[in-house]
Amino acid sequence: MEYPAVFLKPEVHSLAKKYVTPEVFEEHKNKKTSRGYTLLDCMQSGIQNLDSDTGLYAGDEECYTAFGNVLDNIVEDYHAPYKIADGHTPDMNPDHLNCPNPDPEGKYIRSTRIRVARNLKGYGLAPNLGKQERLDIERKVVEVLTSLTGDLAGKYYPLQGMDEATRQKLVDDHFLFKKGDRFLESAGCNKEWPEGRGIYHNDAKTFLVWINEEDQLRIISMEKGSDIGSVFRRLCKAVNEIDAKLGFQHSPGLGYITSCPTNLGTGMRASVHVKIPKAHAHPDFKAICDKYHIQPRGIHGEHSESTGEDAGVYDISNRRRLGLSEVRCVQDMYDGLMKLLEIEKS
């Protein structure tokens, strides 16, 4: 097993490159988790995508501890100033949230969405799942979801056999994931696509669960407008009910375990689609995003641009997920959003 020579190219700036030096690689290259995953396996996405920021995915929970301090270093760098020894404390009590509707007249904000990532105990993570395991996970999760009642009651729509027009409409309307991008492809998350993948949702499409994409579950609450409290309340109720029935991979220092180190902790991304052409063009836009721990995306998901009739509309979300509570994640998004709206209006 050779150190990936492409990492020596100057254009590679990933955290994987930063912490897996040739010496570190030499020290850990022959280690394997009990599910057979190596450090080189974890690094595949960063090796095949030289523009990666993180450049590494875990194939199972054990990867986070199997290769000395490599993953700890990456986690602490991305989630700085958090230290794993500090421990991660959750808070999914919606009464603790202070986010009065930021745009009651609906002039700026189109929609609000909060998701968390979760993975079942006793299984690998997406990059290292076999076909049968993926199908088992799908069956277990669907069984629990279809037992939910009230506004969480819904149906499961497997990707396998879904007609193309239905699938495309769900993607265009921001409900369904696309086929995993080149990062997930090279991490091994797209194997045997689309088998074992699908989406559960209620009739109103305000509560949705993605099954077997980058993580085994992405639990999502979303609605039109900007009632962040309502979206968070629905999410908390759903997650607490699902959590009680399916055990999730979790550790005191890393919180909920996810395949990408950036999602550890709460696994939460709280976002709004908001029209802020002026704030976006402001010379301090990036500095404000950094200061408020928020991240801009295009409105068609990660690595997308906002063009055409969507020009000026951005997906604004919390960037931090580990070492702060779920309530604080939403609060980060809210505080940053309020600052951007202030600039937009002035």
Binding string, 224-263, against ligand ARG, x = CB under 6 A? ------------------------------------x-xx
Q: Does 53 participate in binding ligand ARG (rule CB under 6 A)?
A: yes
* Whole-Å CA distances, 132 to 3, 122, 124, 187, 227: 32, 14, 12, 19, 40
Binding string, 245-274, against ligand ADP, x = CB under 6 A? ------------------------x-xxx-
Task: In whole angstroms, give the CA distance from residue 195 to residue 131.
Answer: 8
Task: In whole angstroms, give the CA distance from residue 178 to residue 157.
Answer: 15
DSSP 208-229: EEEESSSSSEEEEEEEES--HH
Token pair listed for 98: 């202070």
Nearer to ligand ARG, 56 or 341 (CB): 56
Least distance to ligand ARG, CB of residue 180, Å: 9
Which residue of 115, 201, 237, 293 would you call a contact of ligand ADP, by CB under 6 A? 115
Nearer to ligand ARG, 55 or 296 (CB): 55
Q: Does 183 participate in binding ligand ARG (rule CB under 6 A)?
A: yes
Least distance to ligand ARG, CB of residue 79, Å: 13
Nearer to ligand ADP, 277 or 301 (CB): 301
Task: In whole angstroms, give the CA distance from residue 200 to residue 158.
Answer: 8
Which residue of 125, 279, 299, 330 would you call a contact of ligand ADP, by CB under 6 A? 299
> Which stretch, 98-106, 123-131, 248-256, 294-302, contacts ligand ADP (CB under 6 A)?
294-302
For 53, the 3-state DSSP assignment is: coil
> Which stretch, 84-92, 107-115, 129-137, 143-151, contacts ligand ADP (CB under 6 A)?
107-115
Which residue of 140, 179, 300, 339 would you call a contact of ligand ADP, by CB under 6 A? 300
Is 218 known to be catalytic? yes
Is 302 known to be catalytic? yes
Token pair listed for 150: 């009230």
Is 63 known to be catalytic? no
Task: In whole angstroms, give the CA distance from residue 178 to residue 287.
Answer: 31
Token pair listed for 220: 């999502």
Which residue of 17, 79, 118, 218 would you call a contact of ligand ADP, by CB under 6 A? 218
Which residue of 45, 112, 128, 317 would you call a contact of ligand ARG, by CB under 6 A? 45
Whether 265 contacts 318, CB under 8 Å: no
Whether 138 contacts 200, CB under 8 Å: no
Binding string, 7-46, against ligand ADP, x = CB under 6 A? ----------------------------------------
Q: Considering CB distances under 5 to 8 angstroms, the limit depending on partner class, which of ligand ARG, ligand ADP, none binds residue 260?
A: ligand ARG
* Whole-Å CA distances, 205 to 156, 174, 264, 299, 322: 12, 10, 26, 18, 28
Nearer to ligand ADP, 174 or 282 (CB): 174
**144 burial via Cβ count (<10 Å: 0-12, 13-18, 19+):** middle
DSSP 264-331: TBT-EEEEEEEE-HHHHHSTTHHHHHHHTTEEEE-TTSTT----GGGTTEEEEEE---SSS-HHHHHH
Task: In whole angstroms, give the CA distance from residue 16 to residue 295.
Answer: 21
Task: In whole angstroms, give the CA distance from residue 116 to residue 110.
Answer: 21
Q: Does 190 participate in binding ligand ARG (rule CB under 6 A)?
A: no
> Which stretch, 49-57, 133-141, 191-199, 283-291, contacts ligand ARG (CB under 6 A)?
49-57
Tell me which residue has tokens 């105990």. 121
Whether 257 contacts 119, CB under 8 Å: yes
Task: In whole angstroms, give the CA distance from residue 105 to residue 89.
Answer: 35
Q: Which residues bind ligand ADP (CB under 6 A)?
A: 111-113, 115, 174, 218, 222, 269, 271-273, 297, 299-302, 315
Catalytic residues: 115, 214, 218, 260, 262, 269, 297, 302
Q: Which residues bind ligand ARG (CB under 6 A)?
A: 45, 52-55, 183, 214, 260, 262-263, 302
